[in-house]
Amino acid sequence: MRACIELGPVPSFNPTALQGEEVFLYRRLGDQRRAVLGVGATSSSSEPEFDVAGCVRDWTFGHACYDLKEELHGLRSPHDGTGGFPMAHWFIPRWVMEWNEGLGFLHVLPGDEGEAGVFAKRLLNAPVGMVAAPRLTWQCRTRYQRYLDHAGQMMRHIQRGDIYEVNYCIERTASDPGFNPFDSFARLLGATDAPFAGFYRLNDRFALCASPERFLSFEGRRVKGEPMKGTRPRSLDPLEDDLLGLELVNDEKERSENIMAVDVMRNDLSRIALADSVKVAELCAVRSYPRVHQLVSTITAEVRKDRSPYDVVRACFPMASMTGAPKRSAMQLIDTMEDQRRGLYSGTIGFFAPDGTADLNVVIRTVLFDATTGNLSLSTGSALTSQCDPEKEWIECEVKARSVIDALAP
């Protein structure tokens, strides 16, 4: 059982303080006032372990790659590799730090109070400062005309009724052996202020995640899913900002994408939930974050007592917003059409806490970095429906990628 030490008012997270640590995971929980960080690994496994009450025995952090679908759905990508991250990996950290409304809380293992105190001082007192970063040269794996051809083929499947929606993703790559992931994540976080951001290191692999989307969160047996489909930028002009939010909530294509993701998640949750407990608490609600308006729906359910939170993750994975509808048919088409294996992109990173709470995001707006080779990967995607224009979908992928690329080297 860990001791919880209240540290009082603390500064916000400084990524550079983690240089030298081989394993860590930082996650924001909706905004900059709430976050959690796990550092070091006392043990690890491919799945979290839960007791009969559905709680982990200790804080557990980690990830599941999109390609876990191969185990869950019997589907296999024709492309090799997983981008260097294991299909799924969960670790119990040595140190856990929480930020909550400006206060800090350090969760310490018995007998480790001294070293934990040293760690906390280093974490909270590290100097803030970033060196200039060069702009990288990014190459898109899927060329423009090939994208249009593939999108056209997918839309013919939609017109035939094989599927109703599919999330089509493309990858950009770059190389920079001198890339500094610590400074780069600080820039990314500062530029995007992403509500569900994450900074993850597993040995020589890094994920710099500026995610605006939550996958699942838990409070005991109550689970909440929040599929996101639909985005508009914020404006400094209050009137224009209101109009952008109104435009988003009334956009027929954005609403149809969101509602289809809701239907898929409702179906997924019904497999592990108590009868009649799956509810749509919010449908196509506009949530306004510092940089963007998002169209988000909220589905809640009560998990059956014979199911653990990770059973819920497996039942809903991969998330509906990154696949399509029907989910299995969409994933089969994705495997056929996309030019890369997704790996950690459109998977999830997050944590489970011993008090029965948990928070898992959707890995989008994310740079994946291999410190051994210097290779970087940035994938973006959009939903194809019967109403879409493939040229506009290509532009949407470009805009999403550019928002991350520009943040890395302003």
Q: How many Å apart are CA 200 and CA 119, to the nearest integer?
A: 18
- Hey, what amino acid is at 356? G
Asked if omega into 326 is within 30° of 0 (cis), the reply is yes
Tell me the average pLDDT of the chain: 95
- Contact by Cβ (8 Å): 353, 29: no
**Geometric angle at alpha carbon 361, from 81 and 33, rounded to 5°:** 135
d(CA 353, CA 355): 5
pTM above 0.75, yes or no: yes
pLDDT > 90? residue 25: yes
User: How much is the pLDDT for 31?
Assistant: 80
185-192 average pLDDT score: 94
Q: What is the mean pLDDT of residues 312-339?
A: 97
User: What confidence tier does 273 reach under pLDDT thresholds 50, 70, 90?
Assistant: very high
Calculate what percentage of the chain has a pLDDT beyond 90.
88
Tokens of 56: 């982990």
SS3 content of the chain, % helix, strand, coil (to 5): 30, 35, 35
- Going by pLDDT thresholds of 50, 70 and 90, the confidence category of residue 6 is very high
Q: Is 243 strand, coil or helix?
A: helix
> Strand 34-39 to strand 214-219: parallel, antiparallel, or no bridges (unpaired)?
unpaired
b or e along 353-369 (b: 16 or more beta carbons within 10 Å of the residue's beta carbon)?
Answer: beebbbbbbbbbbbbbb
| Separation of alpha carbons 388 and 156, rounded Å | 12
pLDDT computed for residue 318 by the predictor: 98
Domain positions in the chain are 3-408
Q: Which residues contact 74 (CB under 8 A, 6 or more apart)?
A: none
284, 258 in Cβ contact below 8 A?
yes
Residues with catalytic annotation? 213, 229
pLDDT at 127: 82
Cβ count near 101 (within 10 Å): 7
Let me know: does 182 contact 15? Beta carbons within 8 Å.
Answer: yes
- pLDDT exceeds cutoff 80 at 391: yes
Burial class (CB within 10 angstroms; exposed 0-12, middle 13-18, buried 19+) of 285: middle
**Pick from 75-84, 163-172, 335-344, 388-397: least confident:** 75-84
Show Cβ contacts of residue 138 under 8 Å, excluding neighbours closer than 6 positions.
172, 173, 174, 378, 401, 405
- What are the pLDDT digits (tens) for 203-248? 999 999 999 999 999 999 999 999 999 888 889 999 999 999 999 9
Q: Is the pLDDT confidence value at 176 over 70?
A: yes
**pLDDT of residue 408 exceeding 70:** yes
**pLDDT at residue 79, as a whole number:** 86
What are residue 30's phi and psi, to 5 degrees?
115, -35
pLDDT at 323 over 70: yes
Tokens of 259: 């509602």
More confident residue, 388 or 63: 63
Q: Give the class (CATH, top level) of 3-408.
A: alpha beta
Q: For the segment 60-112, what is each residue's pLDDT rounded down to a tens digit? A: 999 999 999 999 999 988 887 667 899 999 999 999 999 999 999 999 999 99
